[in-house]
């Protein structure tokens, strides 16, 4: 055996030993963690296992007035934040907005670099009132949250959606896809809608035309974020 083959065999053996030792050092998980009581019940009912619930938290920071780095149209706007995936129903939001008679812009934050064709399809559905920003993080994201008049989330899969928690922390009245997970998260801080563009359009129109309702729901949103979803709060598993 030449020296090259001997070195290769030695390297392979060392790799196998490393993997075996690493596996021996790994300990199995001792607890199941989820971010939603609904998901906790799902695991309990389906698999017979319990879980601790540690939901997301959010504290809305103070940001500079020009943090987003681009000019939004003056005046109020509705905000939608989600990755562009079919289960997040951006198309439902766009179809609903087409039916709403308003000059409010609809600002949509998000994208999908792994499926550009789907992103192009969604962008083609927007009319002149729709502003697609692409993904935004940090201060720019929080400025959009703080200045929005309405937050819309049509996500229908998952536990606690962080953007819903962040919208409540920013005091946004929320329109959310009505399923058990979202209902658990939002409670009185928003209004649910069905998987119907007409239903969402009606509720968007009502909320746009109802500053008193927006003010009341905004107060509920801030209170819920402060009491349930502030950073550092640990939901009990009991």
- Whether residue 102 is contained in a domain is answered as yes
- Whether residue 39 is contained in a domain is answered as no
Asked if 190 contacts 174 with a C-beta cutoff of 8 angstroms, the reply is yes
Q: How confident is the model at residue 11 (pLDDT cuts 50, 70, 90)?
A: low
> What is the rounded distance in angstroms from the CA atom of residue 162 to the CA atom of residue 140?
16
> What is the rounded distance in angstroms from the CA atom of residue 196 to the CA atom of residue 26?
48
Count of structural domains, the chain? 1
- pTM of the entire predicted model: 0.81
Alpha helices (H) along 48-179: 90-98, 116-124, 138-147, 162-169
CATH code (residue 188)? 3.40.50.2000
- Whether residue 146 is contained in a domain is answered as yes
> What is the rounded distance in angstroms from the CA atom of residue 177 to the CA atom of residue 191?
9
Report pLDDT for 4.
44
- Whether residue 176 is contained in a domain is answered as yes
- Whether residue 66 is contained in a domain is answered as no
Tens digits of residue pLDDT in 49-72: 888 888 777 777 776 555 455 566
Q: How confident is the model at residue 13 (pLDDT cuts 50, 70, 90)?
A: low
- Whether residue 162 is contained in a domain is answered as yes
Tens digits of residue pLDDT in 125-156: 999 999 999 999 988 899 899 999 999 999 99
- Whether residue 134 is contained in a domain is answered as yes
- Whether residue 61 is contained in a domain is answered as no
Report pLDDT for 233.
46
Rounded to the nearest 5 degrees, what angle is found at the Cα of 145, between the Cα atoms of 144 and 150? 105
Domain containing residue 110? 78-228
How much is the mean pLDDT over the chain? 85
């Amino acid at each position: 055996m030449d020296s090259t083959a001997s070195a290769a065999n030695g390297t392979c053996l060392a790799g196998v030993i490393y993997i075996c030792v690493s596996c021996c050092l790994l300990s199995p998980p001792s607890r199941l963690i989820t971010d939603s009581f609904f998901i906790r019940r799902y695991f309990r009912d389906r698999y017979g296992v319990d879980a601790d619930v540690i939901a997301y938290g959010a504290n809305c920071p103070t940001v500079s007035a020009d943090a987003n780095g681009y000019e939004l149209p003056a005046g109020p706007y509705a905000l939608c934040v989600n990755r562009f995936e079919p289960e997040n129903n951006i198309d439902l939001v766009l179809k609903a907005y087409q039916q709403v008679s308003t000059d409010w812009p609809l600002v949509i934050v998000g994208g999908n670099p792994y499926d550009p064709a789907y992103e192009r399809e969604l962008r083609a559905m927007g009319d002149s009132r729709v502003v697609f920003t692409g993904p935004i993080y940090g201060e720019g994201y929080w400025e959009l949250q703080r200045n929005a008049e309405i937050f819309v989330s049509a996500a229908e899969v998952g536990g606690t959606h962080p953007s819903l928690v962040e919208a409540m922390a920013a005091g946004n009245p929320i329109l959310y896809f009505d399923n058990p997970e979202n209902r658990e998260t939002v409670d009185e801080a928003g209004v649910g809608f069905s998987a119907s563009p007409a239903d969402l359009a009606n509720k968007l129109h009502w909320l746009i035309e109802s500053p008193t309702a927006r003010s009341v729901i905004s107060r509920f949103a801030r209170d819920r974020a402060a009491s349930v979803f502030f950073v550092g709060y640990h939901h009990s598993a009991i």
